[in-house]
Amino acid sequence: MSSTRTPANPLLQPNKPRISPGIVVVIVLVLALAAGVGVQYYRGHSKVEVSSNGRAEPAVITAPGASGKGVTVGKAGAKAHIDLYLDFRCPHCAEFEEATGATVDKLVQDGTATLTYWPLQFVNPDASPRLANAFAAAAANGKALSYADEMYGDFSKSWTTDQLIELGKQLGVGDATFQQAVQDNTYAGWLESVTKAADDRGVTGTPTVYVNDKQLPADQMTPEGLQKAVDAIAS
Amino acid sequence: MRQLPWFPWVSLAARLVLGGVMLVAGALKVTDPETAAQAVRAYELLPESLAAPVGWGLPFLEIAIGLLLIVGFGVRASAAAAGVFLIVFIAAVSSAWARGLSIDCGCFGGGGQVAPGQTKYLQEILRDVGLLLLAGWLWLSPASKFAVAPEANAESQTPTGVPAS
């Protein structure tokens, strides 16, 4: 916030009536906008730092690419199935991930539930498809959960193509095929089939969660609510 | 407008309230540009190429105007700029209400879709109208206590206020 210091300037020259305050106000506002542009640039060029490299990665059961099917991770044979409809640029999804991520991880980890990602791409038409495609490319290499977590974990980052590729490299999946897939938007067709499947199911927003085909009500979109819904099936 | 001795004190209060609200509103949004852009998109008024930059840029302008008002520099022009923003906000919220959208105004962060019964359009508009009245007062009576750049009131001054838009 470099703009915070700007209004103090006139203190240095208190008696210069020739410059009208109106002009200075306009200049301050332009500087504030410049600060905004600077931050925007930073968001697109800031370094990618993987926050949780040590966390366990569940196996990918269903890889991206199968038309109309999400990406499923976990242990085959789990009784509970969690369907998560998400958009990587949806603020509520980032909040949901932050609140329930640990609970979901645990359920998937101990084989209680499988988790199916249904990446939608409507929230930010400029960015959501790019992030969803990169997620698919990472999932194809077995890194679905980490890749999703990292993108949500640094939600304010722009996640440009370069940043997405860098994230892939840091997670150990950034080979040439991955880079090609990110650059060429390889999974666009599959993502469209996912969107269609979501529409057919009546999903109208993100995040939307189903536990064994029963939609989790809005007031149950909490770690406790999710745990309870899974417990009801697993026990 | 005849000046009374307590006018500068009212102007001081108006500066602090209007500036404080602008500063807080900007600061709460500036750290979360994706959410701010999403709040702008939810109004369905701007094309995508404009919605995102507005979401990112607006908080910076709000912070700048808020600070100018709080320290008391260029009060008349800053109040005019704040007034322009408030008129735009009131128009945008009214239009969302009239079109039957169910959104939060996103004035202080957040924003986007809410459940149909959860809208607060009337409160949001009344709050903005109240702030607009403060901006109008400051436009007419910018002379206030404890301003870093003391400003004369409207009559004694050639109109220098440039309404930033």
B51 lies within 8 A of chain A by CB? no
The structural domain count of chain B equals 1
What pLDDT score was predicted for residue B117?
A: 86
Query: Which residues of chain B have a CB within 8 Å of the CB of A10?
Result: 73, 148-149
Mean pLDDT of chain A, nearest integer: 90
Q: What are residue A113's DSSP bridge partners?
A: A80
Q: Is residue A55 part of a domain?
A: no
Considering only CB atoms, B81 lies closest to which of A6, A25, A89, namely: A25
How distant is the alpha carbon of residue B9 from its chain centre? 21
Give yes or no: residues A32 and A122 share one domain.
no
- How large is the average pLDDT for residues B14-22? 97
Instruction: With a cut of 50, say whether residue A226 has pLDDT above it.
Output: yes
Give the domain extent around A26.
2-45
Q: CB A7 to CB B60 under 8 A?
A: no
Is residue B16 domain-resident?
yes
**Domain annotation covers residue A50:** no
Nearest to A75 by CA among A112, A101, A106: A112
CA pair distance A202, A228, nearest whole angstrom? 23
Which of A:206-225 have CB within 8 Å of B?
218
Query: Could you tell me if residue B119 is inside a domain?
Result: yes
What's the confidence (pLDDT) of residue B83? 97
Residue A166: inside a domain, yes or no? Answer: yes
Which has the higher per-residue pLDDT, B34 or B45?
Answer: B45
Alpha-carbon span A62 to A68, nearest angstrom: 12
User: Do the Cβ atoms of A55 and A137 come closer than 8 Å?
Assistant: no
> So what's the pLDDT on residue A52?
65
Percentage of chain B surpassing pLDDT 70? 92
For residues A90 and A24, membership in a common domain is answered with no
> pLDDT tens digits, residue range B57-114?
999 999 999 999 999 999 999 999 999 999 999 999 999 999 999 999 999 988 888 8
A33 and A91 assigned to the same domain: no
Interface contact flag, A3 B73, Cβ < 8 Å: no
Q: How far is A130 from chain B (nearest CA, A)?
A: 15
User: How many residues does this entry show for chain B?
Assistant: 165
Co-location of A77 and A160 in the same domain: yes
Mutation pick from B60, B84, B160 vs chain A, by most beta carbons of A within 10 Å, is B60
Residue B94 domain-assigned (yes or no) = yes
Same domain, A165 and A98: yes
How confident is the model over A140-150, as a mean pLDDT? 94
pLDDT of residue A235: 75
B32 Cβ under 8 Å from any chain A Cβ: yes
pLDDT at B111 (0 to 100): 86
Higher per-residue pLDDT: A54 or A135: A135
Residues A40 and A127 grouped into a single domain: no
Same domain, yes or no: A89 and A198: yes
Question: What is chain B's Cα-based Rg?
Answer: 17
> Under an 8 A CB cutoff, do A91 and B112 touch?
yes
- Backbone torsions φ then ψ of B27, nearest 5 degrees: -65, -35
With b for 16 or more beta-carbon neighbours within 10 A and e for fewer, the A2-33 pattern comes to ebeebbeebeeeeeeeeebbbebbbebbebbb
Tell me the residues of chain B between 122 and 151 that have a Cβ less than 8 Å away from chain A: 148-149, 151
Average pLDDT across chain B, whole number:
90
Name the DSSP class of B107.
B
Name the CA dihedral angle for A156, A160, A165, A168, rounded to a multiple of 10 degrees: 20
Q: How confident is the model at residue B153 (pLDDT cuts 50, 70, 90)?
A: confident
Kindly give, in sequence order, each residue whose CB lies less than 8 Å from that of residue B147, ignoring residues fewer than 6 positions away. Answer: B12, B15, B71, B72, B73, B75
Q: What is the reported pTM?
A: 0.79
Q: Containing domain of residue B68, as a range?
A: 7-137
* Total tally of structural domains belonging to chain A: 2
* Residues A22 and A121 both lie in one domain: no
